Structure 1
């Protein structure tokens, strides 16, 4: 789990740089596992900026799109349904959250081949486990420290995939949460696009 955590926080820092620290704000718009390269030390590098949009910092941070962009399973709701909010750097935050849930869960975010229908949409299934305080039993969890890292990545991811973009943290806040103790992190409300169980 240590390696997964290192990858997750490395990607968060990379997105923080694109959104806040480089000369122009860059919104990637296609954050997914295939667009993250790992070197021999498992240090992540964000790649494939083919769909990215940039803007000057002085302007509003919303992005104008003529059509939806991204990859199914990682696209923020506002990219497809504009009434949910404006496309902005918060759209990358959503994609990041979905990707980290996949990293922790060890499978795609939608899996029609699982045994139980309540497990098809992985974020819903994981949310139920966290909400009911069940142990998170995923690949790579070998001790209490791994359990804590997994729980921290999951809670942060659920903040990232909130349906309303204004409820999502910035990538700067994501990094802060990942660097904090899991005990200080609150479980966010269930995103309203989830089905109720």
Structure 2
């Protein structure tokens, strides 16, 4: 059985959501970043961490790629053009949404106070809005890549939810509607319910 270390309010949400979509059994071990349980598995202390038997996989995107490839769902076949396009979308979401939100978080509360530059937030908000519009222009169907949901959709939706919590406006109507439909998925709701356990 898979073991997922992390918290629902972190990028572990992405991994848990994919596991719920896949219908694969897992054990969720609630653990914060740099906790003893996490640091014992991942010296950086970052979450999420996936334990598969004696093997450890850190990083939400690496974990999701492994799970999608292993189970042959929520991904296109390796070596296909569609997979390369999926990977391009995934990296675009990570570079243009996730990284912007992470930078804002670092300067908002993660870095030591003397290292924070709060004045960067308006610039990051502008960049985020511009990048949302670019992503919306790339959407070709009900999901980012058309008719098939992939791990890129899970990462994008997680970022859109993160943006709301971080008070980054999501004013692109196409992506706002897309996020609402993704949040309506049963697997998404099951993971969100884990936060109350």
Q: Place the TM-score, normalised by the shorter chain, in its bin.
A: under 0.3
Q: Which has the higher helix share?
A: 2
Provide TM-score, normalisation by structure 2.
0.25
